Amino acid sequence: MIIPAIAANTANRCMALRSPITGATSTAAMEPGSATAYAVPMNDKALADPLAWRPLKAPSLIEFEVIATEAFRRLPGRFRAKCEGVVIHVEDYPTDEVLDTMGMQSELDLMGLFQGVGLPFQADSAPVQMPNMVWLYRVPILLYWAEHDETLGHIITHVLVHEIGHHFGLDDDDMMAIEEAAG
């Protein structure tokens, strides 16, 4: 469910989680080291046996959340500190309401969304507002991953940084520098 805009400067920004990754601990459980399992580049040995792919599956919502949590953890501390109160969600697809608001035809065209009032537009005197939210859409991100020569971890980090960057009112160059610092 999308929360209606409260202020005139509310922004919905395109591109780029279900737990408050930024402040509270994630509810997702994982084995040590598994957060980067989907960020391992392919090699010729992996391609030698085409049947080796049969047991592999795309990451579930919970696994995707774990990857996103790890991506957030790797961002520079000064960047994470300014994310207090931002709620990050992971869903399979954007809702019809979001697609209508964005003027998009397909749920596969939107990898993420920032919804809220960016920091430059917030005022202490403003009435109580809903928290700023970042949404990552699993299926469109997975489809992008399948079609491009990038790791899943890199794509998730890129979308996450891009959407949180809108929270800060950052431009694309600022976001690229932060992403590079995250590794």
pLDDT of amino acid 48? 72
**Looking at residue 25, what is its pLDDT?**
31
pLDDT given at position 95:
95
Q: How far is residue 176's CA from residue 3's CA, in Å, rounded to a whole number?
A: 29
- Residue 124 pLDDT: 67
Closest CA to 61 of 146, 145, 162, 135: 135
- Residues 64 and 59: their CA atoms lie apart, in Å, by 6
| Nearest-angstrom CA–CA distance, 20 and 122 | 20
Give the pLDDT confidence score for residue 32 in this predicted structure. 36
Q: What is the pTM of this model?
A: 0.67
Give me the tens of pLDDT residue by residue for the chain, a chain 183 residues long: 232 222 223 344 333 333 334 443 333 333 333 344 444 455 556 567 777 777 778 999 999 999 998 998 898 998 888 888 888 899 999 999 999 998 999 999 999 998 886 665 666 666 767 788 899 999 999 999 999 999 999 999 989 988 888 877 777 788 778 768 876
Going along the chain from its start, the domains and CATH numbers come out as: 11-182 (3.30.2010.20)
Nearest to 14 by CA among 160, 113, 138: 113
Q: Give residue 103's Cα distance to chain centre.
A: 21
